[in-house]
Amino acid sequence: MIFRITSRKLSHIAKFVPKSQPVTNQDIEELAEFIKKSQNLLVLTGAGISTESGIPDYRSEEVGLYARSNRRPVDYQQFKKYTHIRQRFWARNHVGWKNFSSTQPNISHKILSKWEKEKKMNWLITQNVDSLHTKAGSVNVTELHGCSFRVICMVCHWSISRKELSQSIELLNPNWSAETEEIAPDGDVLISDDLVKKFNPPCCKSCGGELKPDVVFFGDNVKKPIVDNCMKKLAESDAFLVLGSSLEVYSGYRFLKRASEYGKPIGIVNIGKTRGDHLAQIKIDAQCGTILQAVDNML
């Protein structure tokens, strides 16, 4: 039997949401029962929860960044080592920041915030750096890979908000401009090499050191205290739910693996296969916004 939302359609179905099968009543009932049984639910979210806000993910078939282009995220070691890599990163990030930072929470973010307030969910770990959970009002959140809305100095650890940094970049580049409607999972966009060469990247106002977003770049590691805190939240939980993640990145997969070792019930909602399907008691191939809205109506 196929379930269709009749009370209210999702307000925005973005072009970056991969194709999926319609949600069934059985899917909804199973997930609702999974959540009802939990008294201390831990949720892990990935890029698939933000595609409905218009931010693409990396790995989805046809619509993910890897499927549409040969582009790859900046590598941490190269960012640290090469001046021209940092110049290119900040030039492109500056152009893409307006679109990336203006994205808004979708129904999934809002429902998870609601569940936190209603004590249906104890803690949330997100692999995303887009701050959409915070925008939606969630408080009990660990940003596993950091947040693009913060910038830090790699030398003295001085910090500044990304919004404030934009103002500094404008002052450094008064006659420099570029426009794009593009958006990427990390805010990156493509601009010409000529534009990049004319761009003056920002530096630390405290020590003059090199700046980077307060995020975990590819090739870098999540800080141990953050991992330890997430493991503590997992140990305290009685069920583990994954939403919108393929779990291909080990930084997130490790928690599902540990949950399985603890014998905790595991649920996964994701369009397409995930690395952890074989460990889950419930796996639902569905768009997060559709099923979470339906489940919320049953709780």
Domains and CATH numbers, the chain: 25-55+105-145+221-298 (3.40.50.1220), 69-102+148-215 (3.30.1600)
* pLDDT(90) > 80: yes
Question: Please, where are the H alpha helices in 102-209?
Answer: 107-117, 132-135, 162-172, 193-197
Distance of CA 23 to the CA centre of its chain: 23
For residue 83, what pLDDT is reported? Answer: 96
- Give 35-63 pLDDT, tens digit per residue: 999 999 999 999 999 998 988 865 545 45
For residue 192, what pLDDT is reported? Answer: 87
DSSP 291: H
Cα maximum dimension of the chain: 63
Annotated binding site for NAD(+): 46-66, 127-130, 244-246, 270-272, 288
Catalytic residues: 145
Q: 218: exposed, middle or buried (C-beta count within 10 Å: 0-12, 13-18, 19+)?
A: middle
For residue 20, what pLDDT is reported? Answer: 76
For residue 189, what pLDDT is reported? Answer: 79
Contact (Cβ atoms closer than 8 angstroms) between residue 138 and residue 113:
yes
Average pLDDT estimate for 119-129:
96
- Edge to edge, what strands does the sheet with 123-126 contain? 141-143, 123-126, 41-45, 239-243, 266-269, 282-284
- Give 167-218 pLDDT, tens digit per residue: 999 999 999 988 776 676 666 777 889 999 999 999 999 999 999 999 999 8
Annotated binding site for Zn(2+): 153, 156, 203-204, 207
For residue 61, what pLDDT is reported? Answer: 52
Residues shown for the chain: 299
- What is the C-alpha to C-alpha distance for residues 172 and 59, in angstroms, rounded to an integer? 36
Contact (Cβ atoms closer than 8 angstroms) between residue 47 and residue 58:
yes
Looking only at the bridges linking them, the beta strands covering 146-153 and 211-215 are: antiparallel
Beta strands in the chain (DSSP E): 41-45, 123-126, 141-143, 146-153, 159-161, 211-215, 239-243, 266-269, 282-284
Annotated binding site: 46-66, 127-130, 153, 156, 203-204, 207, 244-246, 270-272, 288
The half-sphere exposure of 163 on its side-chain side, counting CA atoms within 13 A, is 2
* pLDDT(8) > 60: no
- The neighbour count for residue 36, using CB atoms within 10 Å, is 12
Supply the pTM of this predicted model.
0.90
Average pLDDT estimate for 93-106:
92
